[in-house]
Amino acid sequence: MTLPSRRHVLGAAALALLPALATAQAWPAKPIRLVVAYPPGGVSDVVARALADKLAGPLGQPVVVENKAGASGGIGMDAVAKAAPDGHTLGFAAISPLALNPHLGKSPFDPVKDIAPVASVMYSPVLLLATTATPARDFNELLATARGKPGAVRWATSGPASLGHIMLEQLKAGAKVDITHVPYKGGAQQMNDALSGQFEILSTNASPAVMQHIKSGKLRALAVGAPARLDTLPDVPTLGELGHAAANLTSLFGVFAPAGVPQPVLQRLNAEINKALALPDIRARLTGSDNVPTGGSAADFGRQIAVESDNNARIIRAANIKAE
């Protein structure tokens, strides 16, 4: 049997690429729907809308934002997972619906088989804030109190199996301290109780409102979950600096697509998102709310999700965390 020539092999490969290339050249053929997995008005919604405006021009089609909130981002991402893989439906969410929810039995889709990461957009630092209920001047002093009085330090999070809860369990395991978890069903009541000193410490994402409470002295920032210190809080160390690398987590947000979208379309989207993130007004909008622009390749974004997913799975098993 005669082996195929190199020319024939290359020709066959080129023919196989033609459908994808044709799809990419025809894309986008209609307005793009950007599903935001959170309610209107929040920081993630504001950032997604700003990004949509910047993408519309280069792509030659409107990018229409649609909010589908609920299930910690799971409802919106499920809509993306079930959309046609033609590049006309995208999602904007934290990576939790892919890296956290599935380990709690809360995901109606397969995060690996049904979703394609497109681009990392930003990370939202997690602040660890002391209330008036504790005299601790820094994070190490808080841990010393927890060691001296097991269970006396109360840590409030936005709920069971939330990112703050994962951080707490990582810290308890690594620092070998007994801290009482106080779960809330959302941030509003958590913040009201924090301001009245109902517990010693809370974990919450950075936001203009939270920063105002820090500036007024009602809350004190002891540490931050972030790759580096925040420009707005230069004296506050990261958990990594304090020796708690496993607990040094952030809320990472990005753009996603249904699995099966042609690679040329995903590559074009990634390139345009990275260009938008480099624009001064987009960067100012992000840093103004104490979020940090990221960007980078889809492959790197996918690897970040996989690493966090593995870490979450391990701590959920070890701490026997259950979702409500």
* Residue 324: band (very low, low, confident or very high) from pLDDT cuts 50, 70, 90: low
277/300 Cα distance (integer angstroms): 16
CATH superfamily of the 126-247 domain: Periplasmic binding protein-like II (3.40.190.10)
Cis peptide before 28 (omega within 30 of 0): yes
DSSP 10-72: HHHHHHHHHHHHHHHHH--SSPEEEEESS-TTSHHHHHHHHHHHHHHHHHTS-EEEEE---GG
* Residue 4: band (very low, low, confident or very high) from pLDDT cuts 50, 70, 90: low
Name the CA radius of gyration of the chain, rounded.
Answer: 22
- Sorted by where each begins, the domain ranges of the chain are 31-123+250-319, 126-247
Q: Which two tokens stand for residue 238?
A: 């990261």
DSSP-derived pairing of the beta strands 89-94 and 32-36 = parallel
For the segment 148-173, what is each residue's pLDDT rounded down to a tens digit?
A: 999 999 999 988 888 999 999 999 99
* pTM of the predicted protein model: 0.85
In contact, 94 and 44? CB cutoff 8 Å: yes
Question: Hey, do 31-123+250-319 and 126-247 end up sharing a CATH topology, with the first three levels equal?
Answer: yes
Higher pLDDT, 9 or 241: 241
What confidence score (pLDDT) does residue 14 get? 47
Reported in sequence order, the residue ranges of 198-285 that DSSP labels E, i.e. its strands, are 201-205, 220-225, 251-258
**Largest Cα–Cα distance in the chain?**
83
Cβ-based neighbours of 112, under 8 Å, separated by 6 or more: none
Cβ-based neighbours of 231, under 8 Å, separated by 6 or more: 287
80/36 Cα distance (integer angstroms): 10
122/290 Cα distance (integer angstroms): 10
What confidence score (pLDDT) does residue 96 get? 94
Pick the CATH number of 31-123+250-319 from 1.20.1070.10, 3.30.530.20, 3.40.190.150, 1.10.260.40: 3.40.190.150
